Amino acid sequence: MKNKLMMMSMFLITCSSSFAQKNELKELEKLVKRNNTTETTALLSSIEKMLPQATDDQKATYYFFKTKNLINLANSGVDFNENRSKAIESINQLIKFENETKSKKYTTEITVLKNTLLAELVDEAIDSNRNKDYKKSSRLFEQAYNLNAVDTVYLYYAASDAVNAKDFDYAESKLKDLIKLKYNGESQTYVATSQISGKVESFGFDRKARDLAVKSGTHTKAETIFSKSAKADIYNNLTHILLNKQNYSEAENYALTAYNLDKDNVNSLLNVLFLYYNTNRLDRFEEYAKKGIERFPQNEILLYNLAVINMQNNQNEQATEYLNKILLLNKNHFDALKSLGNLELQKDADITNKINALPNTTASNKRRNELMQEKKQVYTNSLDYYQKAKAANAKDESLNELITQIQDFLKNN
C-alpha cells in the first residue's frame, strides 16, 4: 500500500509540473504578444528550470518565445547588439532542436523571423559600409553569417571590412576562419532587367526565381554575373597582417600560397619580397625579384620598392637603375625623382671628408679646388632632380627647404 501511495504521489507531482508548464507557456505567449519584456524575461527564467521535465513541444515553445523576447529586447534598445546576438543563437538553437526532434511546430514562423532579421542585418551592414563605418559593418556581416552560415560570403565581407577598418586582430581571426572553410568566393549572380523600372535587378543566387520572372514577363535580358576567386586576396590580406606583426615564420606559407594562386597580382610578389628582405634571405629575395621584373617590367610600384630595398642595402647603383626605369615610364614620378636627388646628394659626404682630410698648405689648394668643383656638381645634379620633383609635388615642405639650402650654397660658392 505504501509503494502504491508513493507512486501515486510521484505521478501527481509530475502531472502538476506538466500542468504548470502548460499554464506558464500560455502566459508566456500573452506576455510576448504584449511586448512585456520585463515579465517575459522573469517567466522564461522560471520555465528554464523545468525544461528537463518538459516535452519536446514544450521545449520548442520555450525556445520560440525566448527568441521573440530577445528580438523585442533588442528592438526596444536594451543591450541592442548583445540581445540580437543572443536572438541569433536562440534561432539556431530552435532550428537545430526541431531538426533533431523532427518537429515542425515553429519551422515556418522561425524561418520568417530568421529571414526578416537576416535582411535587417545585411541592409544595416551595407549602409554602414557605404558610410565607411567599416568596423560596425564587419560585425554586422559576422552576425549575418552566424545567422545563416550557408552564406559564407557574409564572413568574407566581415573579414574584408575589418581589414578596411584596420581592425587587424579581428580580421586575422576571420581570414583564418575562411581558410579553414576553404572559402573560394567564386559565385554566379543572376540578374535581369525590370520591365517597370528599366533597371537591372539582382536575384542573388536564385536562378529559378530569375528565370520565372523572365518567363512571367516582368523581366527581360537574363544575364549571369561571374565573380572570380577571392582566395588570393584572403591569403594576401592575412600575409599583410602577419608581416606587420613581424610574424614572419607564420606569414611565409600564406605569402607563398597567395603568390602561387595569382602570380599576376603584384601585391603577392611585394609581400614575398618584403618577407625575404626582412628575414635577410637575400638569395630568395633576388630569385623572386628577377621573376617580378620579368612579369612586371613596367610596374612602377614594383620598381620603386626594389629601388628602396637596394638603397637600404647600400646598393646605390642597382637602386639608380630601377629609379631611372621608372622615369622612362613616368618622367614626373615624384618619389623616384626625390630618391635620385637623395642618392646624388649622398656623394657629398665622401667629397667633404676628402676636403677635410687635406692639409692646410698651398700645395693642397689645387686638389681642394677640384674637390669643391665636384661638390658643386653634386649639388647641381641633386638640385635638378629636386626641382623636377617639386614640379610634380610642390607641397613637400622638407623638399622645399632642402632646395633653398642647396640654392644658397651654390650662390655663395
Residue ranges per structural domain of the chain: 13-164, 188-226, 231-297, 302-412
Model pLDDT, residue 21:
58
Chain center to CA of 13: 57
CB 118 within 8 A of CB 151: no
Model pLDDT, residue 8:
38
Q: Which of 31-35, 157-161, 281-285 has the highest mean pLDDT?
A: 157-161
Model pLDDT, residue 320:
96
- Checking if the pLDDT of 35 tops 80, the result is no
What is the tens place of the pLDDT at every residue in 335-348? 999 999 999 999 99
Q: How many Cβ atoms sit within 10 Å of the Cβ of residue 342?
A: 17
- Checking if the pLDDT of 159 tops 80, the result is yes
Same fold for the pair 13-164 and 302-412: yes
User: Mean pLDDT, the chain, as a whole number?
Assistant: 87
**378 vs 344: CA distance, rounded Å:** 6
The alpha-helical segments, DSSP class H, found in 224-333 are 231-244, 248-261, 266-278, 282-295, 300-312, 316-329
What is the tens place of the pLDDT at every residue in 295-319? 999 999 999 989 988 898 889 999 9
Domain 302-412 has CATH 1.25.40.10: yes
Give the architecture (CATH level 2) of 231-297: Alpha Horseshoe (1.25)
pLDDT band at 13 (very low <50, low <70, confident <90, very high): very low
Model pTM score: 0.73
Model pLDDT, residue 189:
77
pLDDT band at 54 (very low <50, low <70, confident <90, very high): confident
- Checking if the pLDDT of 403 tops 90, the result is yes
- Checking if the pLDDT of 377 tops 80, the result is yes
Beginning with the edge strand found earlier in the chain, give each strand of the sheet holding 187-194 in spatial order: 200-202, 187-194, 219-227
Chain center to CA of 320: 36
Topology of the domain comprising 13-164 = 1.25.40
CB 62 within 8 A of CB 47: yes
